[in-house]
Amino acid sequence: MPTLLRNVGEFPLIDRLVRRLRGVGPRLPLGPGDDAAILPALPAGRALFTTDVLVEGVHFRRDTVPPRALGAKALEVNLSDLAAMGGRPLAFFLGLSFPADYPLAEFDAFAAGLRASARRAGVALAGGDTTASLGPVVISVGVLGKLRSRRCIRRDGARPGDLIAVTGPLGAAATGLRLLAEGWRWGGRGVEGPGTARVTRRQARAALRAHLFPRARLDVGPVAAERGWCRAGLDLSDGLASDLVHLCERSGVGARIERGRVPVAACTRFWAERWGLDPWKLAAGGGEDFELLLALPETALERWRRRGLPHPPRVIGQVVERRQGLREVGEDGRSRPWKRGGFQHFA
Amino acid sequence: MPTLLRNVGEFPLIDRLVRRLRGVGPRLPLGPGDDAAILPALPAGRALFTTDVLVEGVHFRRDTVPPRALGAKALEVNLSDLAAMGGRPLAFFLGLSFPADYPLAEFDAFAAGLRASARRAGVALAGGDTTASLGPVVISVGVLGKLRSRRCIRRDGARPGDLIAVTGPLGAAATGLRLLAEGWRWGGRGVEGPGTARVTRRQARAALRAHLFPRARLDVGPVAAERGWCRAGLDLSDGLASDLVHLCERSGVGARIERGRVPVAACTRFWAERWGLDPWKLAAGGGEDFELLLALPETALERWRRRGLPHPPRVIGQVVERRQGLREVGEDGRSRPWKRGGFQHFA
């Protein structure tokens, strides 16, 4: 019989988790173990906080998402929100609910994934709450970050004339999700699934990796914010179809997107062809790519490109006046109203 | 058919919640609606953050805890952690997971309870995440607070010779929980349950109120911290039997508790007698009273009493050297080892 969480108990489990994360990220005035954590000093307008919840059966299935991926992803989706605002991570809080019959080995793998992501981002565990669950695994993460300057990438700053850009190809995460539903799995040493050709496995691997091990754009969001390159932006978590609407609504503007310029991940093109699907559906309708969607003036784009940073923005359209609405220009040159889509809870 | 969350959808639901909480608490540099919130200035060593998760079936049952109580309690349990450290609340974050078939009217009652508690505490909604759940309701709350001085009530400051005190009678919340199991309910206009005598109903009401509508000790924790009255402390969430052990372990001390001096709630004495139970079991073993457990020097106790603040500390014992261990002195004058107990998840 494998050891289960009920064989360990709450307080030893918390100790175990805290030990794994000891020494990761900056030293805090007071970390886990008391009623509250004491946070480092942050000047006015420079501290950011964001929180995201992952629910088993809604955001992930326990039989398809390895616990190591889950631990990393729970943190990365929050780091992505921070990156989108231009913040650098400092500390995080964990609210964990696991069933008592959850295997300890999987909990340890979850903690290892969390640790890997925390180390990469240089973020310290500051506190949390660990509870039993009678049903699903529920992971709630909150991250505290800081802005180095007062410049911040908000959703409400886009202005007509700005270019709209994304930091990378879209659709891979949605493709990975679909592959999981088709029986593909992320194994210890590569992917496993219904297909043996080398190219098939390579394209499956790329898509599964995007879905299971997303990386927050911490390498570009903060720099872009500090240099003042962006007028507005957010991370593509719900999907372009939906997130573009958020950006435009908050900024009080319209947009014109050129469908042919939206970069689609190679694995998405590969699998969409096999599935007889329009790759656009996966690229715009699927979420969780965690690329940044940005509005920026042309001069900023040129500066960004000259700097040679990773993930240079790829222009997909332009911000227009609100009364011009949100429109998409097809590869046939015809313009149609933007189809709002993307994931929405309860819908 | 009542309206359900699935008839509303994620974004309208978030708007609804944000509108209800608009204008409550201090104005934040950037509140809900973006990828992250921008927090007010946090001076070194003065900012606190705490988080607690409530899970349906573990912390509450949907058929016995009215949604209004749930909304208030989800925030109060966090405010209690803040109060125990001596912090004053500033802003809170909400991670909500509700099933799609949850009635909108109950969600509104939940929001009303949350609002009532937030207004009382003067704490602003700063952000959050709202997701569907395929199973239980899960509510994760994080609260940011500030210390007015550098003084803070931590768990690790108790010293031999300090008095150990609590800020109020114990056991009422555990008594209320047991009454719910016996069929008592908190109704719109009073309590309902198997008992009609006036005294019975009054004692049921007191216990149910303690369990369903706890109040964080924000009226004493911050003042006690700022005046430097306390050496150490925490809130009684798991129960005295367990929380005393936390205090002693973190401080590296022992304790001697006089059982006869531990104040027991009147309703607990009343119901324990009816049930043929030792009221001590409910007072020490039951959690969620959210009184503060404090270690303080005698001079501080006198000053506190002279000030005439609410909830004056009631001495229940003394801090001793670690090697003397944790002991309880019975009403027969005999000393026994402290029986660790209280709630522990997964156990």
Taking CB atoms and an 8 Å limit, are B85 and A34 in contact across chains? yes
Residue with tokens 């909480």: B21
Give the bridge partners for A292, in sequence order: A235
> Is pLDDT above 80 for A347?
no
Taking CB atoms and an 8 Å limit, are B34 and A128 in contact across chains? no
Contacts of A92 in chain B (CB under 8 A): none
Residues 6+ apart with CB under 8 A from B171: B264, B265, B267, B268, B272, B279, B282, B283, B286, B289
- Interface check B10 vs A, CB under 8 A: yes
From B41, B48, B52, residue closest to A37, measured CB to CB: B48
What is the DSSP code string of B241-269? HHHHHHHHHHHT-EEEEEGGGS-B-HHHH
Q: In chain A, which residue's Cα lies nearest the Cα of B292?
A: A35
Q: What is the pTM of this model?
A: 0.96
User: Regarding beta strands A314-320 and A163-166, do their DSSP bridges make them parallel or antiparallel, or are they unpaired?
Assistant: antiparallel
Asked if residues A178 and A78 have their Cβ atoms less than 8 Å apart, the reply is no
- Interface check B36 vs A, CB under 8 A: yes
Question: Residue B2 and residue B184: Cα distance in Å, rounded?
Answer: 26
pLDDT band at A318 (very low <50, low <70, confident <90, very high): very high
pLDDT digits (tens, 9 = 90+) for B37-64: 999 998 989 999 999 999 999 999 999 9
What is the DSSP code string of B102-163? SBHHHHHHHHHHHHHHHHHHT-EEEEEEEEEESSS-EEEEEEEEE-SSS----SS---TT-E
Question: Residue B162 and residue B231: Cα distance in Å, rounded?
Answer: 8
Closest-CA distance, A235 to chain B, in angstroms, reads 8
Taking CB atoms and an 8 Å limit, are B93 and A57 in contact across chains? no
Question: Residue B40 and residue B26: Cα distance in Å, rounded?
Answer: 10
Taking CB atoms and an 8 Å limit, are A347 and B10 in contact across chains? yes
- Interface check B342 vs A, CB under 8 A: no
Closest-CA distance, B110 to chain A, in angstroms, reads 17
Closest-CA distance, B327 to chain A, in angstroms, reads 21
Over range B251-274, report the average pLDDT.
Answer: 97
Asked if residues B154 and A30 have their Cβ atoms less than 8 Å apart, the reply is yes
Give me the phi and psi of B245, to 5 degrees please: -65, -40
Contacts of A94 in chain B (CB under 8 A): 51
Residues 6+ apart with CB under 8 A from B222: B83, B86, B87, B88, B147, B148
pLDDT digits (tens, 9 = 90+) for B215-247: 999 999 999 999 999 999 999 999 999 999 999
Chain B, 228-287: which have a CB under 8 Å from a chain A CB?
Answer: 234-235, 250
Question: Residue B95 and residue B89: Cα distance in Å, rounded?
Answer: 18
pLDDT band at A310 (very low <50, low <70, confident <90, very high): confident
> Is pLDDT above 90 for A309?
no
Over range A303-310, report the average pLDDT.
Answer: 88
pLDDT digits (tens, 9 = 90+) for A125-140: 999 999 999 989 999 9
From A8, A135, A345, residue closest to B135, measured CB to CB: A135
Q: Which helix (H) or strand (E) holds B71?
A: helix B67-85
Asked if residues A335 and A201 have their Cβ atoms less than 8 Å apart, the reply is no
Report the residue of B18, B62, B140 to disrupt the A interface, i.e. the one with the largest count of A CBs within 10 Å: B140
Give the bridge partners for B311, in sequence order: none
Asked if residues A26 and A124 have their Cβ atoms less than 8 Å apart, the reply is yes
Closest-CA distance, B229 to chain A, in angstroms, reads 18
Question: Residue A325 and residue A319: Cα distance in Å, rounded?
Answer: 10
- Interface check A324 vs B, CB under 8 A: no
What is the residue-averaged pLDDT of chain A? Answer: 95
Report the residue of B34, B50, B152, B153 to disrupt the A interface, i.e. the one with the largest count of A CBs within 10 Å: B34
pLDDT digits (tens, 9 = 90+) for A217-258: 999 999 999 999 999 999 999 999 999 999 999 999 999 999
Residue with tokens 């602003």: B124
> Is pLDDT above 80 for B189?
no
ipTM value for the complex: 0.94
From A35, A100, A234, residue closest to B35, measured CB to CB: A234
Chain A, 290-309: which have a CB under 8 Å from a chain B CB?
Answer: none
Q: Percentage of chain B surpassing pLDDT 70?
A: 100
**Would you state the structure tokens that stand for residue B239, as one six-digit string?**
């129960």
* Strand ranges (E), B34-109: 37-39, 47-55, 88-99
Taking CB atoms and an 8 Å limit, are B95 and A96 in contact across chains? no
pLDDT digits (tens, 9 = 90+) for A181-225: 999 999 877 899 988 899 999 999 999 999 999 999 999 999 999
Question: Residue A227 and residue A86: Cα distance in Å, rounded?
Answer: 10
Taking CB atoms and an 8 Å limit, are A346 and B8 in contact across chains? yes
Contacts of A35 in chain B (CB under 8 A): 50, 81-82, 84-85, 155, 234-235
Taking CB atoms and an 8 Å limit, are A47 and B33 in contact across chains? no
Give SS3 for A188: coil
Give the bridge partners for B190, in sequence order: B187
pLDDT of residue B340: 86
pLDDT of residue B19: 96
pLDDT band at A300 (very low <50, low <70, confident <90, very high): very high
Taking CB atoms and an 8 Å limit, are A82 and B35 in contact across chains? yes
pLDDT digits (tens, 9 = 90+) for B89-133: 999 999 999 999 999 999 999 999 999 999 999 999 999 999 999
Contacts of A5 in chain B (CB under 8 A): 346
pLDDT of residue A283: 96
- Interface check A35 vs B, CB under 8 A: yes
Chain B, 40-59: which have a CB under 8 Å from a chain A CB?
Answer: 40-53, 55-59
> Is pLDDT above 80 for A27?
yes
Closest-CA distance, B179 to chain A, in angstroms, reads 22
Contacts of B43 in chain A (CB under 8 A): 41
- Interface check A217 vs B, CB under 8 A: no
Q: Which helix (H) or strand (E) holds A187?
A: strand A185-187
Taking CB atoms and an 8 Å limit, are B134 and A130 in contact across chains? no
Q: Quick one: A63 exposed, middle or buried, by C-beta within 10 A (0-12, 13-18, 19+)?
A: exposed
Give SS3 for B181: helix
From A85, A132, A344, residue closest to B345, measured CB to CB: A132
Give SS3 for A153: coil
pLDDT digits (tens, 9 = 90+) for B151-165: 999 999 999 999 999
Question: Residue B212 and residue A308: Cα distance in Å, rounded?
Answer: 58
Question: Residue B270 and residue B201: Cα distance in Å, rounded?
Answer: 11
Task: Tell me the HSE value of A178 on the side-chain side, using a 13 A CA sphere.
Answer: 23
What is the residue-averaged pLDDT of chain B? Answer: 95
Burial A115-152 (b: 16+ CB within 10 A, else e): bbbbebbebbbbbbbbbbbebbbbbbbbbbbbbeeebb
pLDDT of residue A4: 96
pLDDT of residue B341: 80
pLDDT band at B278 (very low <50, low <70, confident <90, very high): very high
Give the bridge partners for A166, in sequence order: A293, A314
> Is pLDDT above 80 for B343?
no
pLDDT band at B342 (very low <50, low <70, confident <90, very high): confident
End-to-end CA, chain B: 40
pLDDT of residue B290: 97
End-to-end CA, chain A: 40
Cβ atoms within 10 Å of B181's Cβ, excluding its own = 10
Contacts of B30 in chain A (CB under 8 A): 152, 154
Taking CB atoms and an 8 Å limit, are B35 and A81 in contact across chains? yes
Contacts of B36 in chain A (CB under 8 A): 48-50, 81-82, 84-85, 87, 145
Taking CB atoms and an 8 Å limit, are A6 and B347 in contact across chains? yes
- Interface check A106 vs B, CB under 8 A: no
